[in-house]
């Protein structure tokens, strides 16, 4: 089965899922793991997710490393400068990746949810309900 929907999951989705296994964030990761949903990722977004998860006990990179499937890696130059209005430079890579992959960015970050031109951003609960 080939998933038809593509998302980019912000690091906060992985954190939310780790702390609340019954959350929409956890459901999204389960859908990626089962192959029902395609998760685009880049080396930069994977490294950021890993860095954050390894800093927050009791979360574990090993619990989610398998959802970063090689066939879903996006190997293009990401135009992070396009999102210079995003206050956190670490979040720009997620916005740029979602644009490059023509994907929905799923995030709980308020500054990413603030209508970035040319980018669809939804919080996990809203994305899951829709």
> How does strand 121-122 pair with strand 38-39?
unpaired
Q: Is the pLDDT of residue 37 over 80?
A: yes
The CATH homologous superfamily to which domain 6-129 belongs is 5'-nuclease (3.40.50.1010)
Q: What does DSSP assign to residue 130?
A: -
> How does strand 104-106 pair with strand 38-39?
unpaired
Question: Do residues 93 and 8 lie in contact, with contact meaning Cβ atoms separated by under 8 Å?
Answer: no
Output the pTM of the full model. Answer: 0.94
| Beta-bridge partner residues of 38 | 6
Per-residue pLDDT of 79-98, as tens digits, reads 999 999 898 999 999 999 99
What is the domain partition of the chain in residue ranges? 6-129
Q: What does DSSP assign to residue 67?
A: G
Average pLDDT, the chain: 93
Per-residue pLDDT of 119-130, as tens digits, reads 899 999 998 888
Provide the pLDDT for residue 114. Answer: 80
């Amino acid at each position: 089965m080939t998933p038809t929907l593509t998302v980019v999951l912000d690091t906060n989705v992985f954190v939310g899922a780790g702390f609340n296994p019954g959350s929409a964030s956890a459901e999204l990761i389960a859908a990626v793991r089962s192959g029902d949903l395609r998760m685009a990722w880049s080396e930069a977004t994977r490294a950021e997710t890993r860095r954050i998860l390894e800093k927050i006990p009791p979360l574990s990179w090993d619990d989610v490393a398998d959802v970063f499937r090689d066939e879903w890696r996006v190997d293009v130059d990401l135009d992070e400068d396009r999102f210079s209005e995003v206050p956190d430079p670490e979040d720009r890579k997620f916005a740029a990746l979602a644009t490059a992959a023509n994907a929905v960015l799923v995030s709980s970050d308020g500054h990413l949810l603030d209508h970035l031109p040319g980018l669809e951003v939804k919080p996990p609960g809203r994305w899951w309900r829709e």
